[in-house]
Amino acid sequence: MSAKTETPAARAARLRERIEDANYRYHVLDDPDIPDAEYDAMMRELEALEAEHPELATPESPTQRVGGTPSSAFLPVRHEIPMLSLANAFTDPAPRPGEDPNKQTRDFVRKIEQRLDVRDPMFSVEPKFDGLAISLRYEDGMFVRGATRGDGETGEDVTANLRTIKAIPLKLRGKGWPRVLEVRGEVYMPRAGFEAYNEKARASEGKIKPLVNPRNAAAGSLRQLDPRVTAQRPLSFYAYALGAFEGAPMPARHSEVLAKLREWGFPVSPLVSTARGAEGCLAYFAKIGAMRDKLPFDIDGVVYKVDDLAAQRELGFVGRTPRWAIAHKFPAQEQTTLVEDIIVNIGRTGAATPAAKLKPVFVGGVTVTNATLHNADQVARLDVRVGDTVIVRRAGDVIPEVVRVVLELRPKGTKPWEMPKHCPICGSDIVREEGEAVARCTGELACAAQRTQSVFHFAGRRAMDIDGLGERYIEDLGEFGYLRTVADLYKLTLEDLLEMKRRVDERDGTVPETVKAGKIATKWAENLIEAIDKSRRTTLERFLYALGIQHVGESTAKALATWFGDLHLIRHLPWPLLKLVPDIGDEVARAIDAFFEQPGNQKVIDDLLAHGVEIRDTHPPSAKLRTALALENVLARAGIPKLTTRRAKQLAAAFDSFEAVATADMAALVEAGLPRETAECLHGFLHGQEGKTLAKRVVRALKALHEATAHARATAAGPLDGQTVVLTGTLSSLTRDEAKGKLETLGAKVSGSVSKKTSFIVAGEAAGSKLDKAQELGIEIWDEAKLTKFLQQHGG
């Protein structure tokens, strides 16, 4: 049948099929069956056909890979099933005599054998591509969304860019695929494509910027806002795992999954294989290692996965890393360079961290100029000196690290490096505590570096999230006296910022950037003021984290926030009571206590609150905590020496407040049933300096607790208090359970059926009889948009 006798629709369909087949043969089977010229001719014909008959153009047509318009941002995508990160194993390059260089790999296999009680389990083995992990979602066989890995939980929507990659099928081939399929794999740039692209870039004489290395090139290409740019990049794709999988039976083995993926049109590396036990894995590692340089793409190791999926489930996870898989990495690439200097950086906690300033060297795909030396022990271990030639590599292919010194090249007259005795920034003593690895500057707030770093932490994305407040501004603000504590941020005015900028320009002798085309450019300052203002409304968890208390990171801050629920309670609580929170022990509790013990810190908190910082999620302490704070428990745990649980109980029965116990005289204590000796001891303690301080704090804390509880009760009246809500139909942005939970926290009762008592209903897509009934009864009807907006307005 010739083109002439076909209808345009049939011709278009036939062309598409042939183009898709050619793609499949080229990218998946690696066995092209038609010459490039013919392929191009078919594409041109199809494009012409679709231009002539626009109704024939479908989104999954091969001509429609580059579509859509440049976007301004990538929307976050939550992965239904988190994307994993693998543990690493290395082969020890210089094992001690008698030591197994492949201990890590063998340990990995041995643990699996122990847990599963099998010998030499079967592994699916594959090369580990050096690219960018992504997830592709197919619904009813059509590619609907693609996202980057992100932090594993949430990535970025890069669908438009992924569509331009010909190795990624826009629709699934074959049959038997599930209704919902998520495929995980690696986008990478083949070496040849990388070279060719850079050749073109060189020829363009600066018009096209050359790419640094294939891996960054892949990552950078997917982050292009304009898919037409991505389409110009020679990207490819290999699939290696599943995410969501709904509506079809799941194969029993990982190797079968890969075979299925290949049938459905995904490129799967021809190097994937299976191997038995540790020895099989190591043989595969050796084989791939020998091929590494000749491969048409970069790899950084191989991956071993337990092949049996049921066994994978049995093995489970530690955190987000599976017990059933490991990445066996090739040794990192190494380079030698010169140590030009060894400097000390001062961190937020005063930690003095030595860092090597290196002669720029290209290693592992980037130019490295700095390498951390961690601490004085590390410097001593390596014996790095200024002027040394050292071997550097990128640990885990990211953070540069000094591997060792090339002693043969050491110049004469070098001296071992020593931690300076005084802080290079503020001149305070640098002290190293007994048994600690870090040395610290003791300058605290007097040290500009610590000040800058703590403000930087405070403003961080995960803390108060002040957008646009970078290290440079913080330094400058500090230098000119606008910023002593974080509270000063909330006192800054537009004029302050502009004045600071003027002085910075004066100091640097730079042309004032603030003056452009005769007008004073103030946009950056306006933005910053706005960002600061926006940060005022925050959560307890963020606020606590932002304070930068030692040992209090994100998760401890969260625990404190959920357990105590109220800043005023936390800031007055004596440390033994802080230990009520799981995962908070002596050390952390003491650190928190010490922080709040400083009047300066309490003043900063007062200042922050006075300048409009508002914690919007204060809530009553958890029920568990309220029990724990009952009088007898407080007495037992407040840190009063010799007071046993039993005695605490007796006291609690006889007195009705902590204050009463603290002010009781000996007679009263004896009357309460305490043996004379215990009573004397307690009385002595409570009237000693230590006891008085403790009592004062406990009383204050309990008062705060009481107020917090009362306050929370008073404000518990949510905006939907007393209202009955009915949900019907399907909501797209959240599940019914989530909607229910959110409505309930705002005070609503969520019921299942519509009656005249119903306050309003929320009708999603395809709402049925409940909607009819609500209309009949004249009940208010919300659509999803209205619900979302309402939830947003009320902190949903």
Partner DNA sequence: GGCCCTCGAGTTCG
Partner DNA sequence: CTCGAGGGCC
Q: Which residues bind DNA (CB under 7 A)?
A: 85, 88, 212, 216, 220, 318-319, 345, 347-351, 353, 355, 366-372, 374-375, 377-378, 395-396, 398-400, 435-438, 453, 548, 550-557, 582-589
- Identify whether the C-beta of residue 238 lies closer than 8 Å to the C-beta of residue 268: yes
Minimum distance of DNA from residue 99's CB (angstroms) = 18
Residues forming beta bridges with residue 391, ordered by sequence position: 336, 404
Strand pairing report for 439-441 and 515-516? unpaired
Closer CB to DNA, 31 or 433, in the complex: 433
C-alpha neighbours within 13 Å on the C-beta side of residue 706: 9
Closer CB to DNA, 177 or 304, in the complex: 304
φ/ψ region of 558 (left if φ > 0, alpha if ψ in -120 to 50, else beta) reads alpha
Minimum distance of DNA from residue 86's CB (angstroms) = 8
Q: How far apart are CA 504 and CA 521, in angstroms?
A: 15
Residue found under tokens 């600690």:
436
SS3 at position 135: strand
| Residue 184, C-beta contacts closer than 8 angstroms, at least 6 positions apart | 83, 133, 134, 135, 136, 239, 240, 241, 242, 243
Q: Residue 248: which H helix or E strand, with range?
A: none
Minimum distance of DNA from residue 401's CB (angstroms) = 7
Minimum distance of DNA from residue 358's CB (angstroms) = 7
Catalytic residue of the set 128, 260, 329, 770: 128
Q: How far apart are CA 536 and CA 609, in angstroms?
A: 9
CA 61, 63, 65, 69 torsion-angle sign: negative
Minimum distance of DNA from residue 112's CB (angstroms) = 13
Q: How far apart are CA 107 and CA 90, in angstroms?
A: 12
Q: How far apart are CA 694 and CA 639, in angstroms?
A: 9
Buried b (16+ CB within 10 A) or exposed e, 627-639: ebbebbbbbbbbb
The C-alpha angle 548, 550, 551, rounded to 5 degrees, equals: 110
- Identify whether the C-beta of residue 218 lies closer than 8 Å to the C-beta of residue 129: no
Told to judge if 415 belongs to the known catalytic residues of this protein, a careful annotator would answer no
| Residue 783, C-beta contacts closer than 8 angstroms, at least 6 positions apart | 762, 763, 764
| Residue 29, C-beta contacts closer than 8 angstroms, at least 6 positions apart | none
φ/ψ region of 146 (left if φ > 0, alpha if ψ in -120 to 50, else beta) reads beta
- DSSP assigned state of 387: T
- DSSP assigned state of 730: B
Please give the backbone phi and psi of residue 217, each rounded to the nearest 5 degrees, phi first.
-60, -45
Minimum distance of DNA from residue 444's CB (angstroms) = 12
Minimum distance of DNA from residue 264's CB (angstroms) = 29
Closer CB to DNA, 347 or 741, in the complex: 347
**In one letter, which amino acid is 740?**
K
Q: How far apart are CA 699 and CA 709, in angstroms?
A: 15
Q: How far apart are CA 248 and CA 266, in angstroms?
A: 18
Closer CB to DNA, 367 or 753, in the complex: 367
Minimum distance of DNA from residue 793's CB (angstroms) = 31
C-alpha neighbours within 13 Å on the C-beta side of residue 324: 21
Closer CB to DNA, 173 or 551, in the complex: 551
Closer CB to DNA, 275 or 589, in the complex: 589
Q: How far apart are CA 438 and CA 351, in angstroms?
A: 6
Closer CB to DNA, 26 or 473, in the complex: 473
Q: How far apart are CA 796 and CA 787, in angstroms?
A: 10
Closer CB to DNA, 67 or 101, in the complex: 101
Closer CB to DNA, 102 or 788, in the complex: 102
CA 236, 242, 246, 247 torsion-angle sign: positive
Minimum distance of DNA from residue 555's CB (angstroms) = 4
Nearest to 671 by CA among 650, 692, 686, 656: 650
- DSSP assigned state of 299: E
Q: How far apart are CA 415 and CA 439, in angstroms?
A: 20
Minimum distance of DNA from residue 399's CB (angstroms) = 5
Minimum distance of DNA from residue 609's CB (angstroms) = 22
Closer CB to DNA, 551 or 649, in the complex: 551
Closer CB to DNA, 34 or 338, in the complex: 338
Q: Which residues form the catalytic set?
A: 128
